[in-house]
């Protein structure tokens, strides 16, 4: 197993308070964070690198956005 080093991108499903706390620490450590959450004002999206606005179970939307990077 290999380590995920700072500079890598981490995806988080759900943009609530726990996702926000996780995103803050991940960004502090040097990671990029993409949040998948349908909410316009998801707490985690306010501190993440970017947000994919789609339902939590919409794998196609998430993949489409990620492949476009």
In the chain, where do the E strands start and end? 9-13, 32-36, 50-52
Whole-angstrom distance, CA of residue 7 vs CA of residue 43 = 22
| Structural domains in the chain, sorted by start | 9-59 (3.40.50.20)
Q: Is residue 62's pLDDT more than 90?
A: no
Token duo for residue 16: 């609530």
- What order of strands is seen across the sheet that includes strand 32-36? 9-13, 32-36, 50-52
Q: What is the pTM of this model?
A: 0.88
**pLDDT, tens only, 15-42:** 999 999 999 999 999 999 999 999 999 9
CA angle 49, 32, 55 (to 5 degrees): 55
Q: Is residue 50's pLDDT more than 80?
A: yes
Between 21-25, 45-49, 53-57, 60-64, the lowest mean confidence (pLDDT) is in 60-64
Residue 67: pLDDT band (50, 70, 90) is confident
């Amino acid at each position: 197993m290999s380590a995920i080093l700072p500079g890598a991108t981490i995806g988080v499903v759900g943009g609530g308070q726990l996702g926000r706390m996780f995103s803050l620490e991940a960004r502090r450590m040097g990671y990029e964070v993409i949040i998948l959450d349908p909410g316009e004002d998801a707490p985690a999206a306010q501190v993440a690198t970017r947000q994919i606005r789609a339902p939590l179970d919409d794998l196609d939307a998430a993949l489409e956005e990620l492949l476009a990077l």
